[in-house]
Amino acid sequence: MNLRRPIHRPVWLHALPRVIARFIASLVPFVVAVAPFSALAAGLPTMEDPSRGAGSGILQTLQNYGYDIVMLVALLVIASMFIGICYQRLWALLRNP
């Protein structure tokens, strides 16, 4: 015995995803023709060299970027430790005035 009733949808609701897909597909050539590719990246910032310099090759440049990432992570760890110590000290002062 099947107790589940079928879901009855209006006819226009079945065709809605196809209509939306066709509309979006018709807009793609227009957007590509109107916006040249050089204008898409016009406002984006450029990537700077690492703090230790660009290096003589791609490997040395990647190592310099890795150094910057390690320094950033170390700075975040030290900052979180500082915040933790301040929180513990404030909590101790509030508990024992």
- pLDDT category of residue 38 using cuts at 50, 70 and 90: low
Between residues 47 and 79, the one the model is more confident about: 79
pTM of the model: 0.49
Residue 31: is its pLDDT beyond 60? yes
pLDDT > 70 fraction of the chain, expressed in percent and rounded = 71
pLDDT tens per residue, range 48-85: 888 888 888 889 988 999 999 999 999 999 999 999 99
User: Is there a contact between 62 and 69 (Cβ–Cβ < 8 Å)?
Assistant: no
Domains of the chain, by residue range, sit at 11-95
What's the residue count for the chain?
A: 97
Confidence of residue 2 (pLDDT cuts 50, 70, 90): low
> What DSSP line would sit under 7-70, residue for residue?
PP--HHHHHHHHHHHHHHHHHHHHHHHHS-HHHHTTTPPPPPPPTT---SSHHHHHHHHHHHHH
